Amino acid sequence: MTRTVRAATGTTLTAKNWQSEAALRMFHNNLDPDVAERPEDLVVYGGTGKAARDWASFDAITRELSTLDADETLLVQSGKPVGVFRTHEWAPRVILANSNLVGDWATWPEFRRLESLGLTMYGQMTAGSWIYIGTQGILQGTYETFAAVAHKRFGGTLAGTLTLTAGLGGMGGAQPLAVTMNDGVALVVECDPTRAQRRLETRYLDELATDIEDAMRRVTAAKAERRALSVGLIGNAAEVLPKLLEAGLEVDIVTDQTSAHDPLAYLPLGIEVDDWGDYAAKKPDEFTDRSRESMAEHVEAMLGFMDRGAEVFDYGNSLRGEAKLGGCERAFDFPGFVPAYIRPLFCEGKGPFRWAALSGDPADIAATDRAILELFPENESLARWIKLAGERVAFQGLPSRICWLGYGERHLAGLRFNEMVASGELSAPIVIGRDHLDSGSVASPYRETEGMADGSDAIADWPLLNAMINTASGASWVSIHHGGGVGMGRSIHAGQVCVADGTELAARKLERVLTNDPGMGVIRHVDAGYEEASAVANDRGVHIPMAVA
Ligand code: NAD
């Protein structure tokens, strides 16, 4: 039986209070067919990132959130509700731990063995922590990244440049729109036609080419005319990229967002999309070997473009690590996107701040957009983003917005939203959270913490401290996950979500959480020796006991 899940909307509570109502609506929103990639399997995005372990757990979580009191806390262990305890009203309503394994056991085969026994699930970052908001969530980060590439290499604009990439899934689907928002041309290879179709329907992708020659013709013409355009091409990246290299296509930027972090979620050469699931399930080891070999060919082609002068970077999916295992010796010759473009933002505690309107009314998001523009009038790139997002982003599920704000900014937005709920300017409470990919909430040596100045890439105390300080500060739900983004054994990360329900209590919680959470990013980067972070700490008064003056 296929079940369709959608979040409740409007102002009538289905739970006992807005804190647990918010968790319930966002949990259901993660599985909305307009939001999730494979809702029938409870998969939200990112390969197999799930919102609940199984449908029985889904029903039990729904039931518990509906009856939870304002001084109770629900514990969720890898997508299964395992206990409810009496706590207090400042405590989170839900505490979640997803996919965590002890170090020596933190491998995909062991994880899958435990998963097949029904003991765990893969939570990705915002799937198992119920704050995924569809492809928009990654759109702004991708937009910022391509803007940074434009500034670094192309005089501040992607006009007249061609970006070649692959993957049109939940995250990867943001790439074509992020490139065209920066005025560039994008060619995106995707092996599954249904994924490409979905991006066309939501206007993230402009056109679909019929074959390689057709794709080359379209992107070459648009590049020559300096016309923004995104073109999808159905094919296997490990086959198409070498062909494009051989054909001499002039590419300026190359990256990738296939689900390379999980070898079973990357389609190897010579396998049809229709046979994928069956083969991966029946022969995971053989499939993994083939997948890694194909990734090695894929990365060899990327290196070929790099050798010809293109800007090439790993977009946080572990492609280099897997390609290296598949025999590509030079895989790490190109950098990850965080050290290349994002770390200076992290030093300011900046990261993907996001919020959703629990009313379900797009007018509430339009009002919050105006509030953000009023709050930060000097920030031009933020204003450009909010305007473009308002025009071009199709909402999926509950209307939502994302923008990158840092330390000293996020709490101002939270407090303003809370006032707007209290005054009736917004028709229902706003839920405020972020990705786990943030400045002080993740240890991930192939991505967010790659190449830290002091070599502390693999130190995972920081995300744990982050979760604990958010719990102590009044967040509505807090999560600690393992393996998101880059796969088993490669990351530990934490998330928080809080609720602006218009009450005085919510204002006090929001001020603390939305100060302390980005504050973790500042202190993490001060500790690693980044001068930009020390300047932020000094200017904005972050108390750091052993900071060098
Ligand atoms: P997804 O599973 O929804 O989509 C991956 C897509 O890649 C699918 O559409 C699949 O058909 C396609 N694909 C797989 N193998 C292919 C091949 N050989 N050739 C062409 N297409 C192929 O995953 P997603 O949510 O889009 O995430 C993509 C990757 O990005 C994941 O590894 C994820 O962990 C990572 N990620 C990156 C960031 C970031 O900020 N950079 C953030 C979150 C996740």
For the chain, domains (ranges, CATH) are 18-116 (no CATH), 136-335 (3.40.50.10730)
Average pLDDT over residues 249-265: 96
Decide if 431 contacts 497 (C-beta within 8 A). yes
Decide: helix, strand or coil at residue 227: coil
What pLDDT does residue 1 have?
A: 65
Tokens read off for 207: 């056109």
Distance CA 217, CA 219 (A): 6
Q: Residue of the nearest CA to atom 8 in ligand 1?
A: 169
- Residue 117 CB: number of other CB atoms within 10 A? 8
Q: Which two tokens mark 351?
A: 């990261």
Model pTM score = 0.86
Task: Say whether pLDDT at 549 is over 90.
Answer: no
Please tell me whether the interface predicted TM-score (ipTM) of this complex is above 0.95: yes
Question: Distance (Å, rounded) from C-alpha 425 to C-alpha 445?
Answer: 43
**Residues labelled catalytic:** 403
Probe ligand 1: pick from 257, 272, 322, 441, max atoms within 8 Å of CB? 257
DSSP string for residues in 231-244: EEEES-HHHHHHHH
Q: Quick one: tokens of 23?
A: 């968790």
- Mutating to test ligand 1, I would choose from 171, 241, 346 the residue with most ligand atoms within 8 A of its C-beta, which is 171
pLDDT tens digits, one per residue of 126-167: 999 999 998 887 888 899 899 889 988 999 899 999 999 999
What sections of 394-503 are H helices per DSSP? 410-423, 461-473
Residue of 99, 258, 293, 490 to test ligand 1 pocket, by largest number of atoms within 8 Å of CB? 258
Q: Residues annotated in the binding site for NAD(+), as ranges? A: 46-47, 124, 170-172, 190, 195, 236-237, 257-261, 266-267, 315, 485
Nearest CA to ligand 1 atom 43: 485
Distance of CA 329 from the midpoint of ligand 1 (Å): 23
Residue 99 Cα distances to 36, 111, 478, 492, angstroms: 19, 8, 15, 10
Among 546, 460, 464, 472, which Cα is nearest to 515's?
A: 472
Task: Output the residue whose Cα is nearest ligand 1's atom 4.
Answer: 169
Rounded to the nearest angstrom, the distance between the alpha carbon of 406 and the centre of ligand 1 is 27
Closest CA to 163 of 295, 24, 315, 272: 315
Which protein residue has the closest C-alpha to ligand 1 atom 9?
Answer: 169
Among the listed residues 335, 348, 273, 349, the one whose alpha carbon sits nearest the alpha carbon of residue 306: 335
Ligand 1 cavity residues, CB under 6 Å: 37, 45-47, 138, 141, 166-172, 189-192, 195, 236-238, 257-261, 265-267, 315-317, 437, 485
Which residue's alpha carbon is at the smallest distance from atom 25 of ligand 1?
A: 46
Phi, psi dihedrals of residue 197, rounded to the nearest 5°: -60, -40
| Cα 241 to middle of ligand 1, angstroms | 16
pLDDT in tens, 276-304: 999 999 999 999 999 999 999 999 999 99
**Annotated binding-site members:** 46-47, 124, 170-172, 190, 195, 236-237, 257-261, 266-267, 315, 485
Spatial CA neighbour of 476 closest among 515, 424, 432: 432
The label of the residue with tokens 């514990």 reads 75
As a whole number of Å, the CA-based R_g of the chain is: 22
> Which residues, including other chains, have CB under 8 Å from residue 344's CB and lie 6 or more apart?
532
Specify the ligand 1 atom closest to the Cα of 171: 26
pLDDT band at 547 (very low <50, low <70, confident <90, very high): confident
Say what the pLDDT of residue 139 is.
87
Q: pLDDT, tens digit, for every residue of 187-199? A: 999 999 999 999 9
Q: How far is the CA of 277 from the centre of ligand 1 (A)?
A: 16
Percent of the chain predicted with pLDDT > 90:
92
Report the alpha-carbon distance of residue 385 to residue 278 in Å, rounded: 42
Query: What distance in angstroms lies between residue 169's CA and the mean position of ligand 1's atoms?
Result: 5
User: Are residues 261 and 486 in contact, defined by beta-carbon separation less than 8 angstroms?
Assistant: yes
Specify the residue with its C-alpha closest to ligand 1, atom 39: 316
pLDDT (tens digit per residue) in 455-502 = 999 999 999 999 999 999 999 999 999 999 999 999 999 999 999 999
- Please report the pLDDT score of residue 156 as a whole number: 86
Three-class DSSP category at 169 = coil
Cβ(179)–Cβ(230) below 8 Å: yes
Q: Are 257 and 166 in contact (CB under 8 A)?
A: yes
Distance 61 CA to ligand 1 centre (A): 28
Cα(446)–Cα(337) distance, rounded to whole angstroms? 10
Provide the phi-psi class of 134: left if phi over 0, else alpha when psi is between -120 and 50, else beta: left
Residues 355-368 have a mean pLDDT of 98
**For every residue of 106-155, which 3-state class applies, written as one string?**
CCHHHHHHHHHCCCCCCCCCCCCCCCCCCCHHHHHHHHHHHHHHHHHHCC
